[in-house]
Amino acid sequence: MTTRYRSHANVSKALSMLAIGALGIVVASAACTPATQDPPPDPPGGLGGQSSGTVGGQGGGAAGAGAAGSTGSAGAAGSGGAATGAGGAATGAGGNAGGASGGGTGGATVAATGCNWVHDTATDLWTMNPTASDKIVLFDGTSLAGWHKLGMPGVAVTWKLLPDGTMQVVPSGTGQATEIQSNMKFDDVCVHVEYLTPVFPSTTTDVQKQGNSGVYLKSAYEMQILDTHNSPPLIDGCGAVYKVAPPLVVACNMYLVWNTYEIEFKSSVWDTSNPPKKTKDAVFVRVALNGKLVQLNVDLNPPGGFTQAGIPDAAGPQPLGLQDHLDLVSFRNIWATIPRY
């Protein structure tokens, strides 16, 4: 990848979202359909083998300290094994407390804070399980209006909106990688993104041309998208924090099979000096690719303050980014929630 970004917009098109986060009001949004696992395709002959407004910081729960919940009762036996009861409630941001009970399929346990991760202990798979009302829909297959060109708020993206409810990269034509950015901005955030990499020619010798794209948090830190399903863990392969940390396991599917990223990102912290100085690094708290844990508690302090091909980290909420790295990667079902710490 090539580093080339110099600036980015710090403009939000709906200050009302800040008020919503500050008051602890839940943002209502339509629920998205969970990812479905498509069967692997038959390899083709000769072929080898990603709303306007501002959400700043954390959303809140109900004001005041929440009371601890009672110990959950044991759940019914799940298909993957005996279920376990969850512990008492944990207090969320703004004092929102809940006593989620455990149990269910495969002995899954539910975390009551952060991104509401569910860990199925029978399969060792992780997924985020927010309530429908907590989801902030960023792309639902009907419109590209929630996105703009890099550093150009209000300028529509030129990616394709396809009849099947997906959006597909349209290469910029400059020969250089770039991004599209969400109109909505975030600090701490939980992100769900589904992507599909295209078939690549059997003559391709550069692994970075095998369906290359990425998901950028604060438009600065990239979770790599690439078809490296048949490679060992690579620092620039699928599931990697690009050029920072290789994945714990290789979890991506081959071309033409949908993948799901779920990302818990804790933003960098800045002081109030002029100009602001960063006092705490951003962290990828937990990242799952197709349910498999690929990153855990990765501190983000790369040279320049951003991963290669990102833009410099800065104080305050920033957009999410999806990369155009000149490959025809497709995306669907993109949503976010605000974690509760």
Residue ranges covered by each domain of the chain: 132-337
Give the other-Cβ count within 10 Å of 85's Cβ.
13
Buried b (16+ CB within 10 A) or exposed e, 265-285: bbbbebeeeeeeeeeebbbbb
- Tokens found for residue 250: 């290789």
The burial class, CB within 10 Å (0-12 / 13-18 / 19+), for 159 is: buried
pLDDT at position 223 over 70: yes
pLDDT at position 123 over 90: yes
Side chain identity at 195, as an amino acid letter? Y
What number of H helices and E strands is found in the chain? 1, 20
Q: For residues 253 and 307, which has the higher predicted lDDT (pLDDT)?
A: 253
CA 289-291-296 angle, 5° bins: 65
Task: With cut-offs at 50, 70 and 90, classify the pLDDT of residue 111.
Answer: low
Integer Cα distance of 172 and 309 in angstroms: 15
Cα–chain center distance at 70 = 32
- In this prediction, residue 202 carries a pLDDT of 74
Tell me the range of 62-66, 109-113, 156-160 where mean pLDDT is highest: 156-160
224 forms beta bridges with 214
Q: Could you tell me if 97 and 66 are in contact, meaning their C-beta atoms sit under 8 angstroms apart? A: yes
Whole-number percent of the chain with pLDDT over 70: 67
pLDDT at position 232 over 70: yes
> What's the whole-model pTM score?
0.69
Task: With cut-offs at 50, 70 and 90, classify the pLDDT of residue 177.
Answer: confident
- Tokens found for residue 335: 């949503």
- In this prediction, residue 51 carries a pLDDT of 37
Where is average pLDDT lowest: 161-170, 171-180, 315-324?
171-180
pLDDT at position 122 over 60: yes
Task: With cut-offs at 50, 70 and 90, classify the pLDDT of residue 189.
Answer: very high
Fold of 132-337: Jelly Rolls (2.60.120)
